[in-house]
Amino acid sequence: IAARESNLVSIQGNMHDELVSDNHHIVLDGKRTPIKYLIGTSISQDRFLYAADSKSKGVEISDNWIRILTWIVTDATLVRKSETQRRIQWKLSRQDKIDNLEALLQSEGIHYTKRKANFSTHNVLQPWYICIHGTKAREICGMLNDIKTYPQKWLNFNKNQVQIFIDTLHQTDGRVHFNHTILSTSKKEESEFLLRLFFNTGVPAKVTVKTQRKGAFKEGSTIYCLEIYEKGVYNRNYVSIKEAGRGNVIAIQMPHQTLVTRRNGKTVVTGNCRLLKHLAEATPALMVVLSDLHGFTVSKLLGLEQFEMNYIARSDLAAWSEKDITKELRKNYMMLYDKSLLFGHYPDMRNMGIPGASGHHHKHLVWSAYSPVYGPYEWHQTGCGHVREASYCAGEKWGNGFLLVHCDTHRKRSQFEYIDLSHEMCMMGGKFYQRLPEEIIHDQ
């Protein structure tokens, strides 16, 4: 994480609120896309990602108990007369709500009482008390830890369970508005929990903070109004992308190249920041601090260690600046096994007269040579390791691949095995591999 001043870009829509630098990448159509190429455009909001793709197996709870606990948290009162005496009580006037609740309790064999209640200032219809007493009331209150809040484990609902939850909200405190659900609460913590729940389970949602004027909540109180788009966001609403002057931004780099942000109650999946480039261009002094005081390396910042990848570079973080990059690449090479092999960045390193390879080029090339030390040997220029259908270039025209080298360190003889990944299949180590259907970008 690092901070700097930058040109700002505003991304605004019904479900969208981001303020980012002009070097930021957003997630559009499921791909990381540079925002600088989209300034001045309006894009349909259904091309953005506002919730996770839920793969949860769900929570061990029956469908009816999801409904019962939702009815309690939204509409009931928990009455605690003593350590052992509990009562769960609803005061309902609408006949459809009374019928739905009674049918639900009867389906689970839960004994309850029903009696007329006194009218209050909000009642137009005759209100009724529906109550659960005794052992069952204590058992249910125990399931909620005697607090009228949703269980934390519900964050792991599967798609079917969250739909049952939303359907129950329609019968209780929620209301249907066109193709989405609106739910209001006076509890900030509850709104935060529900935003997480819906995001985790693949349901786009947002929260708007309002001041209550009249209605069920106390006048002047703060109300958190959730809009839940269980059928997906509208494709007729657009996200506007505009320049927004200059200001301070926070650069965050994540291992999987994306992060989740929330601004003004709107949750968005957005792209990763290029922290290393930011450090080199904007805050070189911070690179010295990270390197000298905290032992940070480029490998650590890129997260290569978790993939068991070696990063070879003669420079450390403190030596980097934008002007130095080309010069550093020129001297970054590695000789292995008593000069049996040489690996570097540029293909002209083959002139050093040692078998080896250079990388990060657009196509695979091979040069043959002879040496009394190495015998007939090869120098390989390997293909790239980029995303094949990259949005920033004609990546499908480039060669993909990497090199396996089998080295006899005693005789200084090497066998080069280039693995071509440019197509829908490859052969490696005598085994045949084929791309998954979603990885194929050209039908053969």
DSSP secondary structure string for all residues of 251-311: E---TTSEEEEEETTEEEEEEPP-HHHHHHHT-HHHHHIIIIIT---HHHHHT-GGGT---
What are the residues whose beta carbons fall under 8 Å from the beta carbon of 164, sequence distance 6 or more? 63, 66, 67
Tens of pLDDT, residues 388-419: 666 656 666 788 888 999 999 899 999 999 99
Rounded to 5 degrees, φ, ψ at 353 are: 80, 25
pLDDT for 196: 93
**C-alpha–C-alpha distance, residues 421 and 258, integer Å:** 25
Element (H, E) at 379: strand 375-381
Rounded to 5 degrees, φ, ψ at 166 are: -65, -40
pLDDT for 293: 44
Alpha carbon separation from 344 to 288, 331, 398, 405 (Å, rounded): 25, 8, 20, 14
Tens of pLDDT, residues 140-187: 999 998 999 999 999 999 999 999 999 999 999 998 888 899 999 999
Is-contact 296 290, C-beta < 8 A?
Answer: yes
Edge-to-edge strands, sheet with 341-344: 333-336, 341-344, 356-358, 375-381, 365-371
**C-alpha–C-alpha distance, residues 200 and 254, integer Å:** 18
Rounded to 5 degrees, φ, ψ at 182 are: -115, 130
pLDDT for 434: 87
pLDDT for 443: 47
**C-alpha–C-alpha distance, residues 297 and 311, integer Å:** 9
pTM (predicted TM-score): 0.64
Task: Write out residues in the chain with pLDDT < 50, as ranges.
Answer: 289, 293-294, 318-319, 443-444
**C-alpha–C-alpha distance, residues 204 and 233, integer Å:** 7
**C-alpha–C-alpha distance, residues 251 and 86, integer Å:** 51
pLDDT for 300: 67
- Tokens (6 digits) for 111: 């004994």
56, HSE (Cβ side, Cα atoms, 13 Å) = 21
Question: What amino acid is encoded at 122 in this protein?
Answer: H
First to last CA, the chain: 44
pLDDT for 211: 83
